[in-house]
Chains A and B, each alone.
Chain A
Amino acid sequence: MVDTSVKLCDIQLKNPVIPASGTFGFGHEFAHWYDLNVLGAICLKGTTKDPRFGNETPRIAEAPAGMLNAVGLQNPGIEAVLETELPALRKLYSGPVIANISGFSKEEYVFCCEKADQSPHVDIIEVNISCPNVQSGGMSFGASAKDAGEITKAVRAVCKKPIFMKLTPNVTDIAEIARACEANGADGISLINTLLAMRIDIKNRKPVLANTTGGLSGPAVFPVALRMVWQVYKAVKLPIIGMGGVSCPEDVVEMMLAGATAVQVGASNLQNPFACPEIIDGLPPLLERLGVSRIAELIGAAHY
């Protein structure tokens, strides 16, 4: 019998597979397809202080082995998420919940993280300082070590629960950003968010996305994500949630060998609603073939 459980900070996950923020709503749509309790944890849709409609459409574009999105943080606002969406999710799901918080100012991050910290339904707070879609926000915080450190420090001051800072890959030195988060009190690092990208419609000669640019995700970005998880594992002592193009049990193992304690599955959920349970079911036979009895022994095992 293979042990697939991992520990994120002090929170026990029955397996390391977590649907990624923005690809899973608040869980309700996927409850139609399968029992959510098979998941290691659930990461909620990115949440801001006020309700947001997001960007204009089209917000979605095809890419080789992946997709672009420019949803722009559509969400009902922190109050509705904590008071309506989460209690509704709790009727279907009893495992760990990761709230994902975005903001356009330090004050907004602090406001939302404090609220999430007080919710009995939230176990971990993931702070998105990396969404590339919102022109006045996310991008700039995650793109500099100084700003990333400042946001970390500010949310740390109001949160008792574990804080994972979610990093953007659109930077020169990911290790430097991760170190700034660690130095300012983060409990963990989540990476990567999407890669800034675009497509052009060759018939009308205009960008496909109404927002011009969007974030690339899917299997195309997996090797980039893996490289960055590797670099961050070398740079900090914090647990890492690795994500970016994970689509099969082998990807989970690879991410963990690079240094991830847990793994998020994003774009694959949209292509195949059963992506997460299929990956989870595929882990024990794969681990047996690899001669691994405890999945946790894989974490960082490729480092020399």
Chain B
Amino acid sequence: MKKGSYIIENTQQIAKNTYRTRLKGDTSAIVAPGQFVNIALAGSFLRRPLSVCDWDEKGLWVIYKTVGKGTSALSKLEPGQKLDLLTGLGNGFDMELAGSRPMLIGGGVGVPPLYGLAKRLMKQGVRPLAILGFNTAEEVFYEKEFAELGCDVVVATVDGSYGQKGFVTDAMPQEGTTFFYACGPEPMLKAVYNRTNTSGQLSFEERMGCGFGACMGCACRTKYGAKRICKDGPVLMKEEVVW
């Protein structure tokens, strides 16, 4: 974990109410895809936790939906403006569990951390199947980006306006995959949990106080006792999840 100053390089709208911001700064604390950053924003007391979509040695990308004041303010910041971030938070996905054919299942703004994961899996010579779920066509993003990495990509929309009609669980193959990584809203995670035969990892979201394990604001129950989503998560093993 590190605290530091980051400079906004650019922000693009990539889908309806969905933005991608590139932040330049020290990324040495980020050690695994699925980790998150906690961003201080003027006008908000608490930081905003956002999963890291991807990173390189010069900076990182976050993708977020403008759901409230904090994320709306972030989307409107100009290039060159500075932000204070805590980086390298949370455990992230464990790539060693992937096997030869992992399935990545993302819903909405749960998709971004799976992109960083897919990129690193491909580098290790593992070709994942990515199943990306959205509500409707205008919310779809990153289909092309996943495909350009070399992944197989299936897009599903709830209303059928793009890709397959239905939920991500409708687009999931029944066999042929070795492991799954899922990130998205809790009802999606639960449905994925119930529909998968393999082991897997699920990334959870919760309202946080600190983001680094001190305040117990984001506690959850697991089969192995209480865990903190921010510190012991956000990624939990399928086998430890209690619904």
Which residues of A are interface residues toward B (Cβ below 8 A)? 22-25, 29-30, 32-33, 45, 53-54, 57-67, 69, 71, 74, 208, 218-219, 267, 269-274
- Given the interface pairs A29-B231, A57-B206, A71-B215, the reply to whether A274 lies near B45 with Cβ below 8 Å is no
Given A53-B219, A74-B226: 12 more A-B contacts, CB < 8 Å: A22-B216, A23-B215, A25-B214, A32-B212, A53-B226, A58-B206, A60-B46, A74-B216, A208-B207, A269-B210, A269-B214, A271-B47
Distance A32 CA – B3 CA, assembled complex (angstroms): 11
**Docked complex Cα distance between A7 and B226 (Å):** 38
Whether A57 pairs with B207 at a CB distance below 8 angstroms is yes
Looking at the assembled complex, report how far the CB atom of B14 sits from the nearest CB atom of chain A, in whole angstroms.
23
CB-CB under 8 A for A29 and B46, given A57-B219, A271-B40: no
Complex CA–CA separation, A74 to B213 (angstroms): 13
B contact patch SS: loop
- Whether the pair A60, B221 counts as a contact (CB closer than 8 A) is no
Tell me the smallest distance from the CB of B228 to a CB of chain A, in Å: 9
Interface of A is mostly: loop
3 closest A-B pairs (Cβ-Cβ)?
A270-B210, A60-B217, A58-B207
Q: Kindly report which residue of chain B lies nearest to residue A220, judged by CB atoms.
A: B45
Contacts of A59 in B (CB 8 A): 207, 216-219
Known: A62-B45, A65-B45. A74 touches B208 (CB 8 A): no
**B86 interface contact, C-beta 8 A:** yes
Contact present for B217 and A25 (CB under 8 Å): no
Knowing A60-B209, A69-B217, the reply to whether A274 touches B46 (Cβ < 8 A) is: no
Of B70, B207, B215, the residue contacting A22 (CB under 8 A) is B215
User: Given known contacts A53-B226, A269-B210, is B1 in contact with A71 (CB within 8 Å)?
Assistant: no
Q: Which of A33, A59, A69, A274 is most buried by chain B, counting CB atoms within 10 A of its CB?
A: A59
Chain B 81-120 residues near chain A, CB threshold 8 A? 86
Check B86–A267 contact: CB distance below 8 A: no
Indicate which residue in B44, B213, B217, B219 contacts A29 across the interface (CB closer than 8 Å): B213
Contact with B213, one of A25, A64, A66 (Cβ below 8 angstroms): A25
- Whether B214 pairs with A67 at a CB distance below 8 angstroms is no
On chain B, the residues within 8 Å of A33 by CB distance are 1, 3
Question: Which residues does chain B contribute within 8 Å of A66, judged by CB atoms?
Answer: 45
Interface residue? B220 (CB, 8 A): yes
| Residues on B with beta carbons closer than 8 Å to the beta carbon of A273 | 3, 86, 210, 212, 214
Contact between A60 and B208, CB atoms less than 8 A apart: yes
